[in-house]
Chains A and B, each alone.
Chain A
């Protein structure tokens, strides 16, 4: 695929992703800051929003895969998010519309990013990463009480126009699935288990220094950088090597050194390296179903997040629980990637040494 097409698409969708997440978070937090809802009800609004935004993505993903309309779906999502920014006087409506818009945008953009360079983790990582930054910015704007809808609406409309103008990506016809199908569900479920645990740990982790704005910004940048570099490094040095080692090294940092900002931030960076790799791996398991695959990972995220919405929240932040949970995630990820590499990897691995080996074989 032409370099121009790839970079124009990925820049537009990544920027739009940040904007969409910022608009959704700002809208929800503004409802409370503007006094339209009791602060105690913020929890329920955020819960409703999250469930709609994350759990509906497999359904929308299947529809996008069926009708091959990712750009249009992303634009529809953006328009709904813009509508949600105007709905703050009716909090429940704002949460529902923002959730639906967010889900549609994520799936549309996800399908585009996964089809720009099929089989590579770098681009989906670049697409997903700015979401964390948008979320942090949105929460800041929403909480400040200075939320105004129209700048968001203008920027969102601009993003929608850019998505419509940017050259479209062709969605390749799905190839036949190779390998031993006996392990098919096992690989997908192991990868999704790893995602779900990552979600639970990420939300349950107690970082007492997070109230410091500077440290919060650095933490957010670590999340963004982890997701971006996870894909790039994974494509270069091998998915299993980067994802599993990153997650494994993050165990002591997050479980036992969370109160020390420098170590915890390093841990969060390493912890996020596996995100684009699990996404691309699930997508590779479901050729021609990139939307559904993207949705499955977000469904795993919300399932993993559920304990943190309940009284188990205090429990999920305990060091030994974090330790055991990330260990289980590492094992699931390692087993999933091993089975994937052994039975289902139908594209050439990107690892340099392996590439050279393949070249030599071809020359012979």
Chain B
């Protein structure tokens, strides 16, 4: 099922209300997560950003090839 933006906002609001009503306790904010998790997040962010750059680079290469083909077609016509 597709989730619309408003539905998502609704879920977030509903969860917030539930947490307030049932006193769901969040982990204390001043306790740092284990170093392994931090390292994983850091490496993960780097890999994700690298993947974004890679995808754009691959697409750019295909655009260059398309421009070349277009030029070749213009020359032949």
Interface residues of B in 44-77 (CB under 8 A from A): 45-46, 49-50, 52-53, 56-57, 59-61, 63-65, 67-68, 71-72, 74-75
Main secondary structure of the interface of B (DSSP, over half): helix
**Given A176-B71, A181-B71, A59 contacting B56 (CB threshold 8 A):** yes
Q: How many whole Å from B48's CB to the nearest CB in chain A?
A: 9
Partner of B57, one of A176, A188, A299: A299
Interface mask (A42-56 → B, CB under 8 Å = 1, otherwise 0): 001001100100011
Whether B10 sits at the interface, judged by CB under 8 Å, is no
Main secondary structure of the interface of A (DSSP, over half): helix
Q: What residues of B have a CB within 8 angstroms of the CB of A185 in the complex?
A: 61, 64-65, 68
Partner of B56, one of A58, A176, A309, A310: A58
Contact assessment for A47 and B45 in the assembled complex, using a CB-CB cutoff below 8 Å = yes
Interface residues of A in 278-305 (CB under 8 A from B): 286, 289, 292, 295-296, 299, 302-303
**Given A51-B53, A56-B56, A181-B68, A44 contacting B42 (CB threshold 8 A):** yes
Contact assessment for A44 and B45 in the assembled complex, using a CB-CB cutoff below 8 Å = yes
Q: What residues of B have a CB within 8 angstroms of the CB of A302 in the complex?
A: 53
Q: How many whole Å from A153's CB to the nearest CB in chain B?
A: 29
Contact assessment for B60 and A310 in the assembled complex, using a CB-CB cutoff below 8 Å = no
The docked-state distance in angstroms from the alpha carbon of A44 to that of B46 is 8
A-B contacts, 21 of them at CB < 8 A, read: A44-B42, A44-B45, A47-B45, A47-B46, A48-B45, A51-B53, A55-B52, A55-B53, A58-B59, A177-B75, A181-B75, A184-B71, A185-B68, A292-B60, A292-B63, A299-B53, A299-B56, A299-B60, A302-B53, A303-B53, A306-B53
